[in-house]
Structure 1
Amino acid sequence: MRGMGHILALSAATAVAVSVLPGTAVAYGPGDGQGSDNTQASGNSDGKGTVSSTAGAVVFDRSKNGSGKSAGPVTSSASNWTPPACYYAPRYTPEQLQEYLEPIWEAGSTGYEWDAKQREKYVNGGEYKDFNKEKTGKGYFWDSYVTEGREGDPGALDCTKDIFWVDNGAPPPPDIPQAITPEMLAQLAYAEIRVPSTKVELAPEGTTKVNLPTWAWLDAADFKPVSVTASVPLLNVQATTTAEPLSLKIEPGTADATTYPASGVCELNGKQIGEAYAKGKANETPPCGVKYLRSSGDGSYQLQATITWRIHWTGTGVAGEQPLPNGEFGAGQDVIVQEIQSINR
């Protein structure tokens, strides 16, 4: 059982579910980093103006991410896809570990028995003598990181292994399934993806009529692919996760409506989703749109437009693109539906 002082000192870092590919071999080479920090994740969550930021040992490059006030994170379309609450990554040089542990022992807050076992392990040579200083520059001590926002989850205590050493170029021990991998980095990057809000073009715009087909479309240029790269410079491993627009789903906001197509899902067709309305098409059926069958009265219907993004990744030691669960992000917009007025002469 690890001491409470150690648990409270864990850094927070964004993480998502591990999806290990069978047969993936990664050479963990020494990077040019100068040791991982113990600070909490930094950088703007909306991706604005942030080229890179560090969350513990992980560095994010968001220079190709979506930005702007309307941008937001995608929600996984896989209902059983949940992020773990902790993972392991490089954290301390021998000197940094000494600087971290000795004040805890001196305070006595973790109890004499635990402190004695730790001193035996890291100082007296039970496993590492004098904090493994004879290997300074030849590796790092790895420690657990808790997923940001998951600190109170039971899973945050799953990473109970004591701080351990890994030589440069060597993989972490095989009995640690939470050790960071390119697959995990890809999913860390997934959590950092930001895509633009979805506001479809409508014709008629804003106000339409009962039984009048309303055309809907999106210019794919406004929804170009975005990506985030997550890396561990200390290990020379990285993964880039990319999101590309795939389809648009229209939910009219009332059961008294017909969608085009019937599924309400409009696929990406070249550079556009749906088709822009043009004069003379009033009597045609739109390839993407909605027809309201009842007036919205004194109010309006809330049309929900959701874009599905195809998400995939590439990374160290992996050939070609690898799939991740599709992501979804949408927004609502008001549509006023009026009765068609007729005049009898």
Structure 2
Amino acid sequence: MPTMRHRSAALAAAVALGCVLLSAPPAAAEKDIGGGTPAETPSVSGDEQDGTLLATAGGIVYDRSKNGSGAKAGAIAPTGSYSPPPCWYGPAYTPAQFKKEREATWAVDSTGHEWDLEQRKRYVEGEPYKDFNMDKAGKGYWWSSFPNKSYPPGWDKCTKETFWVDKGDPPPADVPEAIDPEILAKLAYAEIRVPGTKVTLAPEGETKVNLPTWAWLDGAEFKPVSVTASVPVLGIEATTTAEPVSLKIDPGTADAETYPASGVCELKDGKIGEPYAKGKSDETPPCGVKYLRSSGDGTYPLKATVTWKIHWTGTGVNAEQPLPDGEFGADQDVVVEEIQAINR
């Protein structure tokens, strides 16, 4: 009798071969289909009047047009123990498509006679479905599981057999992993990209021992970013938004002081830190660092980390819902020189 691993491999092969994009509408460059492992994610479309799907099914459609950009942009790291859903269930097939996929699986002849008989009873012979629900074409979809192998463990926990859901009906109550706005929001979280965190320093490039160095971030870049995830055939979506709230400066050495003392510069009036301007040399920077010792022939690895507050809204959700904060940081080299004394 074949193992569950062998059955899954055969099913994945059939899905990859039988479930192809038939006639998806053109999508903007910043929009694409994802979720789980793309090669194993059924993605089909067509004309709903003849029983096929009108829009992309199963895989999630992401709109990243309001995401962060730039060569140094990157994914935020959630604070605490948090990760996207490891797997979920969503609409994958019309009756005709599921029939084609399952018959292709049986034709592979590697899943075992006993399993094939069980499947035929379940989907063909009326225990509980008959003839793949071909008489319900255009009235619902077959739902299947989608693994998110990028975020193990747990991607293989969605083991429920493919099941039918009528249009307009909720998925069965015993399927907590069924795709919904909250799951979409968590998947969109993983797609958020924020700008690089190189801070502007004054003096720039190199500074002096005991000289306060001002630090700030480009206000034009550090603004809220968002990603929207949706399942068109269900008419549900969620938008996850990340807003910068603070900058933490680690000077890269214990021989330094930060401004403020905590090293955390809060967002104020839409800005993190304040650009240096002439006439401020005697002022204490609201955000910055003062090195107490020269870096010698080397440099200090100053690390700047921005904390982003995350929330989401979605279909049927009236108020913003919180998600764990995220962080994104990077190092930059700082040269610190001794102030040369002039002997007269």
TM-score bracket for this pair, using the shorter chain length: 0.7 to 0.9
The one-letter code of the counterpart of 1:123 is: V
RMSD after superposition:
1.9
The one-letter code of the counterpart of 1:76 is: P
The one-letter code of the counterpart of 1:83 is: P
Q: Percent identity?
A: 62
Q: Is the contact between residue 85 and residue 183 of structure 2 (CA under 8 Å) also seen in structure 1? A: no
The gaps in structure 1 that reach 5 residues or longer are: 12-35, 40-48
Q: Is the contact between residue 19 and residue 101 of structure 2 (CA under 8 Å) also seen in structure 1? A: no
Cα distance between partner residues in 2 of 1:190 and 1:148: 16
1:58-73 aligned within 5 A: 58-73=60-75
Per-residue CA deviations over 1:162-191 (Å, capped at 9, x if unaligned) read 000011111111111111110010111111
| Structure 1 residue matching 2:290: 3-state secondary structure | strand
Cα distance between partner residues in 2 of 1:50 and 1:197: 22
1:85-104 aligned within 5 A: 85-104=86-105
Q: Which of these residues, 2, 27, 31, is aligned with residue 52 of structure 1?
A: 31
Cα distance between partner residues in 2 of 1:186 and 1:288: 33
Deviation at 1:161, TM superposition (A): 0.6
Per-residue CA deviations over 1:4-33 (Å, capped at 9, x if unaligned) read 33356459xxxxxxxxxxxxxxxxxxxxxx
| Structure 2 residue matching 1:6: 3-state secondary structure | helix
> CA separation of 1:59/1:339 partners in 2, compared to 1, >3 Å: closer, same or farther?
same
Cα distance between partner residues in 2 of 1:7 and 1:91: 18
Q: What TM-score, normalized to structure 2?
A: 0.85
Cα distance between partner residues in 2 of 1:38 and 1:112: 27
Deviation at 1:2, TM superposition (A): 4.9
Partner of 2:338: 339
Partner of 1:126: 127
Cα distance between partner residues in 2 of 1:182 and 1:226: 19
The one-letter code of the counterpart of 1:109 is: S
Per-residue CA deviations over 1:265-310 (Å, capped at 9, x if unaligned) read 1011113211111222222211100011111010000111111111
> CA separation of 1:3/1:172 partners in 2, compared to 1, >3 Å: closer, same or farther?
farther
1:83-232 aligned within 5 A: 83-150=84-151, 153-232=152-231
| Structure 1 residue matching 2:217: 3-state secondary structure | strand
Cα distance between partner residues in 1 of 2:274 and 2:115: 68
Cα distance between partner residues in 2 of 1:102 and 1:2: 18
> CA separation of 1:9/1:263 partners in 2, compared to 1, >3 Å: closer, same or farther?
farther
Cα distance between partner residues in 1 of 2:310 and 2:153: 29
The gaps in structure 2 that reach 5 residues or longer are: 22-27, 35-40, 42-57
Partner of 2:291: 292
> CA separation of 1:69/1:104 partners in 2, compared to 1, >3 Å: closer, same or farther?
same
Deviation at 1:260, TM superposition (A): 0.5
Partner of 2:52: none
Deviation at 1:50, TM superposition (A): 2.7
Per-residue CA deviations over 1:238-279 (Å, capped at 9, x if unaligned) read 001111111111111111111111111101111321111122
Q: Is the contact between residue 2 and residue 162 of structure 1 (CA under 8 Å) also seen in structure 2? A: no
Q: Is the contact between residue 10 and residue 146 of structure 1 (CA under 8 Å) also seen in structure 2? A: no
Partner of 2:274: 275
Cα distance between partner residues in 1 of 2:299 and 2:10: 50
Q: Is the contact between residue 10 and residue 145 of structure 1 (CA under 8 Å) also seen in structure 2? A: no
Per-residue CA deviations over 1:97-124 (Å, capped at 9, x if unaligned) read 1111112112221111111100111111
Cα distance between partner residues in 1 of 2:169 and 2:237: 16
Deviation at 1:322, TM superposition (A): 1.0
Q: Is the contact between residue 220 and residue 245 of structure 1 (CA under 8 Å) also seen in structure 2? A: no
Partner of 1:238: 237
Cα distance between partner residues in 2 of 1:154 and 1:109: 27
Deviation at 1:227, TM superposition (A): 1.1
Cα distance between partner residues in 1 of 2:274 and 2:11: 55
The one-letter code of the counterpart of 2:66 is: K
The one-letter code of the counterpart of 2:287 is: C
Q: What TM-score, normalized to structure 1?
A: 0.85
> CA separation of 1:223/1:67 partners in 2, compared to 1, >3 Å: closer, same or farther?
same
Bigger RCO (CA 8 Å, 6+ sep): 1
The one-letter code of the counterpart of 1:68 is: G
